[in-house]
Amino acid sequence: MTDAAIQITDLCKTYAGGKVALDHVNLTVPRGQIMGLLGPNGAGKSTIINILAGLVNKTSGSARIWGFDIDANPRNARNSIGIVNQEILFDPFFTPLETLEIQAGYYGVPKAERRSIELLRAVHLEDKAHAYSRTLSGGMKRRLMVAKAMVHSPPILVLDEPTAGVDIELRQQLWSYVRRLNEGGVTIVLTTHYLEEAEELCDRIAIINHGKLITDKPTRELVNMAQEKVVEVTVDRDLATLPAHPQFEKIEKSGERSLKITYLKNRATAGEVLNLVQSEGFAIVDVSTHDPDLEDVFLTLTRAAA
């Protein structure tokens, strides 16, 4: 299994008090990819990340990070991963530069090999190198957390909700940094609630719900699972009666001269929709289509598993 950046096998976690947060999760993160971990609140995403980080003890199962078992080889496992948690954690009295230097010292990175200024530049904080960290804005602190996770140049970076509550511009900056890291060979795992972003950024997406893995597929394949497609047609005169055909799921009026036709991609085509409308004697003035996206798939899968 040396090709996996992270290999999780039969992982279970029951918290004190009896809450089952992970229920036999099997998950492989291939090297070099950007993997999204999605799921509703309380699904178990942070529990997985915290087990990998050594912050939460698993109940059973195993996990390997870059080939190192987290129980048998905890030091190597920990050195192979950089984790950005949801909470912002660092001493507010240190400057960003000191924060990175201390973290590098913690990981035993020799002074000559430290890249603190380079990292600050990468997250657009070079000019804040000597400011007190407590004076940084929320977004700057978050970027500092990302730089801090990279001081020991791990081959894997894990980001737990890195853009929650972050404005669009900063989000874009963070994503472009994540993309650059990935292009440089770093495997990325991220949890996010922004499905659009996961769709845009991730090569592969795993969805977890109630502690169970419900899917793990390349993003394109997952989005293609959505079967429902909608075609909206504007015609040349008012619609008195609606055309009907059993091949389509739903035909409804969306305006005096427009109708919305929903069909399943495996049962019909847009051409057939247009033929039906024309066969009823209407001329088509305009057409628009709505493609299903990750949100449709996510809702279908998490509802089915509820």
Ligand X SMILES: Nc1ncnc2c1ncn2[C@@H]1O[C@H](COP(=O)(O)OP(=O)(O)OP(=O)(O)O)[C@@H](O)[C@H]1O
Interacting residues with ligand X (CB under 6 A): 15, 17, 19, 21, 39, 41-47
3-class secondary structure, 6: strand
CB of 177 to ligand X, least distance (A): 22
The residue (of 17 and 108) whose beta carbon lies closer to ligand X is: 17
Segments of the chain assigned E as strands:
4-14, 20-30, 34-38, 60-65, 68-69, 81-84, 156-160, 187-191, 204-209, 212-218, 228-235, 250-255, 258-264, 284-290
CB of 51 to ligand X, least distance (A): 9
* Of the candidates 166, 226, 216, the residue with the CA atom closest to the CA atom of residue 189: 216
Q: State the first-to-last Cα distance of the chain, in angstroms, to the nearest integer.
A: 32
Q: Name the burial class of residue 157, with classes exposed (0-12), middle (13-18) and buried (19+) by CB atoms within 10 angstroms of its CB.
A: buried
* Of the candidates 5, 2, 4, 39, the residue with the CA atom closest to the CA atom of residue 22: 39
The residue (of 43 and 63) whose beta carbon lies closer to ligand X is: 43
Q: Which residue's structure tokens are 């404005």?
A: 167
The residue (of 21 and 277) whose beta carbon lies closer to ligand X is: 21
The residue (of 17 and 184) whose beta carbon lies closer to ligand X is: 17
CB 180 within 8 Å of CB 12 = no
CB of 265 to ligand X, least distance (A): 31
CA 181 to chain centre: 16
The residue (of 15 and 106) whose beta carbon lies closer to ligand X is: 15
For residue 303, give the amino acid letter.
Answer: R
CB of 37 to ligand X, least distance (A): 8
Q: Name the burial class of residue 192, with classes exposed (0-12), middle (13-18) and buried (19+) by CB atoms within 10 angstroms of its CB.
A: buried
The residue (of 49 and 123) whose beta carbon lies closer to ligand X is: 49
- Distance, in Å, from the CA atom of 19 to the CA atom of 247, rounded to the nearest integer, reads 46
CB of 204 to ligand X, least distance (A): 18
The residue (of 43 and 195) whose beta carbon lies closer to ligand X is: 43
- Distance, in Å, from the CA atom of 245 to the CA atom of 260, rounded to the nearest integer, reads 13
Tokens of 103: 């973290």
CB of 70 to ligand X, least distance (A): 17
The residue (of 124 and 212) whose beta carbon lies closer to ligand X is: 212
CB of 19 to ligand X, least distance (A): 4
Rg of the chain taking only CA atoms, in angstroms: 24
Tokens of 264: 């399943």
CB of 46 to ligand X, least distance (A): 3
